[in-house]
């Protein structure tokens, strides 16, 4: 049952990012899953065993579908406008590989005065989403 919920959660995260679009800056297109340096340092500090979900992390069918619909964009990274303040805000899906199975985590990163505020989203019962400061 938990494997089904975890897989369903992964699919929900993927669909959310696909729906938000692939609005990635020119600098990010050079390495399509590269994070801004300050954000990269913050994520490494808080999530040392994680990386941004890349095309290689997707299953073969999902990889083909994603590439058909989004080209060379990064499946685990997209710009969003949740706060409507003009400041950089990114939705990031992190991948944690492990001995006990893979796990993903949706993070929304918002740059405020030269620092990144991270919010982690977790799936609740019946697909509800809860937010907490990471």
Following DSSP, what letter does each residue of 14-63 receive, concatenated? HHHHHHH-----HHHHHTTTPPPHHHHHHHHHH-TT-EE--GGGS-HHHH
pLDDT in tens, 32-63: 899 998 999 999 999 998 999 999 888 999 99
pLDDT of residue 53: 92
**How many domains does the structure of the chain reveal?**
1
**CB-based contact 103:10 (threshold 8 Å):** no
Query: Which domain, by its residues, includes 62?
Result: 2-133
Report, in angstroms and rounded to the nearest whole number, the Rg of the chain calculated over CA atoms. Answer: 14
Residues contacting residue 126 through CB under 8 Å, at least 6 positions apart: none
Residue 107 has pLDDT above 90, yes or no: yes
What pLDDT band is residue 102 in, cutting at 50, 70 and 90?
confident
What pLDDT band is residue 100 in, cutting at 50, 70 and 90?
low
What's the whole-model pTM score?
A: 0.69
**CB-based contact 133:118 (threshold 8 Å):** yes
Average predicted confidence (pLDDT) for the chain: 77
Phi and psi angles of residue 14, each rounded to the nearest 5 degrees, phi first: -65, -45
Picking from 73, 17, 76, the residue whose alpha carbon sits closest to that of residue 52 is 76
């Amino acid at each position: 049952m938990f494997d089904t919920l975890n897989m369903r959660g992964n699919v929900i995260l993927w669909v959310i990012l696909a729906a938000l679009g692939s609005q990635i800056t020119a600098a990010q297109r050079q390495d399509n899953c590269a994070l801004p340096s300050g954000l990269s340092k913050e994520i490494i500090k808080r999530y040392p065993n994680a990386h941004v979900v890349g095309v290689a992390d997707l299953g073969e069918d999902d990889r083909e579908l994603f590439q058909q619909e989004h080209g060379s964009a990064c499946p685990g990274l997209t710009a969003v406008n949740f706060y409507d303040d003009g400041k950089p805000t990114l939705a990031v899906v992190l991948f944690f590989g492990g001995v006990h199975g893979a796990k993903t985590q949706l993070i929304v990163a918002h740059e405020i005065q030269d620092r990144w505020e991270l919010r982690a989203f977790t799936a609740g019962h019946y697909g509800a989403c809860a937010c907490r400061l990471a």
